[in-house]
Amino acid sequence: MTGIIDVSQLAKTYGDGTKAVKGISFNVSEGEFFGFLGPNGAGKSTTIKILTTLLRKTSGSASVAGFDVDSDGAKIRKIIGVQNQDTVVDEDLTGRENMTLQGELQQMHGQALNERVDELLKIVDLVDAADKRAGFYSGGMKKRLDLATTLVHDPKILFLDEPTTGLDPQSRAAIWAYLKRLNEQGITIFITTQYLEEVDRLCRRLAIVDLGEIVAQGTPSELKQEIGADSISLGFENSTMNGGDTRSKAKELLEKKFDGISNIVNSDIGLTVYAKNGGFLVPEIVRAFDDAKIGLSSIGVSSPTLDDVFLKHTGKRIRVEEVSSANYRGMFSRRRR
């Protein structure tokens, strides 16, 4: 028992034999902002469901705030807030009614509940819309309301499954800013998301899962250091030269002339080169290409990002769903009653 969330050898096999989670172990300390990342189908949502007592584990152990997820489910549910991947609000109820109902289901009532709802409406900036039905809210407002409903009972731990997916950048920034404030007030946050820059900025530690197993965990900077290389992206003026492919010519040249390059991969505009001390390498590359008459249209260096970490461990780039597709879904989905 070291953290507020303790998971050891946790496994879940569904009825149809699918092994969604294959013996993962991790822990989250009290007050931590913990990122839980992975490609689609990696087992993130399954893990969240087990930790929030919505799903029974197959084997291993898991506890939240010292309570066992199987035997002390009721105690866990009193101190956690859970936001699902889909925005869930009752569209026939007003924003205030949605929040009040959640509070009532958390056994709150009377003046204390009303005050708490008013306070939260202010925080998530929904005071003006509080008495309008949630069905008339925009996507961003619904998401903020959904988040607020999970906070009415002042939970100790917040589980968030993709809280900002499908939102416009402004709403997204507002949610992240709000999560940061909550965390500063001492709430432990367990989050899955596809927005790696925010994870990098806010999460103190993170774990990457793939195919039901944890493939990496640590602080963002530890994980980035593991990559150990900067990436230099090269764009070429012409894709062919002297009847040959520019990329392969350039690749040949780089491999011949430079030590310390750990990897070269094709990119949309040309090549991406991974090397230590990328900054020092740039002028040399430019000179060498100039001599070889390979025309460069662009060159850029960046230190490793979590995106690179993710790519290294899962072999996939994280895919962020576009806002436009979310709007499309919203327009044609049936109105919920």
Partner 1 sequence: MSFFSDSYHLFIRWMKKLVRNPILVFFSLFQPIIFLVLFTQLFSKFGSLIGPGVSYTVFATAGIVLQNAFSSAFQSGTSVVDDIKSGFLTKMLATPVNRSAILFGRILSDMFRVAVQTIIILALAYVLGVYPQTGVLGYVLVILTVGFSGLAWSGISLALGLKTKSGETVFGIAGFLTFPLLFMSTALVNPTSMPPWMQTVSSYNPISFAVNAIRSLIMPPPHCIICTNVFDWSTILQAYGVIALIGVVTLGATLYLFRKVVS
> Which of 90, 118, 168, 226 contacts partner 1 by CB under 8 A?
90
- Nearest approach, Cβ of residue 79 and partner 1 (Å): 10
DSSP H stretches of helix in 92-138: 95-105, 110-123
Q: What is the Cα–Cα distance from 176 to 174, expressed in whole angstroms?
A: 6
The closest of 16, 93, 62, 36 to 212, measured between CA atoms, is 36
Write out the two tokens for 110.
Answer: 């009377």
Sign of the Cα torsion 32, 38, 43, 49 reads positive
C-beta closer to partner 1: residue 116 or 313: 116
C-beta closer to partner 1: residue 152 or 167: 152
Q: What is the Cα–Cα distance from 261 to 281, expressed in whole angstroms?
A: 10
Write out the two tokens for 3.
Answer: 């953290």
Q: What is the Cα–Cα distance from 308 to 272, expressed in whole angstroms?
A: 12
Q: Does 307 bind partner 1 (CB under 8 A)?
A: no
Site for partner 1 in 31-60 (CB under 8 A): 52-54, 56
C-beta closer to partner 1: residue 65 or 250: 65
> Which of 256, 293, 319, 337 contacts partner 1 by CB under 8 A?
337
- Nearest approach, Cβ of residue 70 and partner 1 (Å): 11
Write out the two tokens for 174.
Answer: 């507002």
Residues with Cβ within 8 Å of 8's Cβ and at least 6 positions away in sequence, in order, are 25, 60, 61, 62
By the 10 Å C-beta count (0-12 exposed, 13-18 middle, 19+ buried), 88 is classed as: middle
Stretch that binds partner 1, among 5-13, 87-95, 285-293, 321-329 (CB under 8 A): 87-95
Q: Does 207 bind partner 1 (CB under 8 A)?
A: no
By the 10 Å C-beta count (0-12 exposed, 13-18 middle, 19+ buried), 137 is classed as: buried
Q: Token match 């070291």: residue? A: 2
Q: What is the Cα–Cα distance from 337 to 334, expressed in whole angstroms?
A: 9
Write out the two tokens for 265.
Answer: 């991969």
> Which of 27, 60, 88, 257 contacts partner 1 by CB under 8 A?
88
Residues facing residue 80 across a β-bridge? 157
- Contact letters for partner 1, residues 108-147 (x by CB under 8 A): -x-----------------------x--------------
Stretch that binds partner 1, among 21-29, 58-66, 91-99, 169-177 (CB under 8 A): 91-99
> Which of 68, 72, 97, 168 contacts partner 1 by CB under 8 A?
97
> Which of 74, 256, 319, 331 contacts partner 1 by CB under 8 A?
74
- Nearest approach, Cβ of residue 297 and partner 1 (Å): 48
Q: What is the Cα–Cα distance from 40 to 46, expressed in whole angstroms?
A: 11
> Which of 23, 25, 27, 93 contacts partner 1 by CB under 8 A?
93
> Which of 30, 92, 197, 291 contacts partner 1 by CB under 8 A?
92
Q: Does 78 bind partner 1 (CB under 8 A)?
A: yes
| Residues of the shown chain interacting with partner 1 in the complex, contacts defined by CB under 8 A | 52-54, 56, 74, 77-78, 80, 82, 84, 86, 88, 90, 92-93, 97, 101-102, 104-107, 109, 133, 149, 336-337
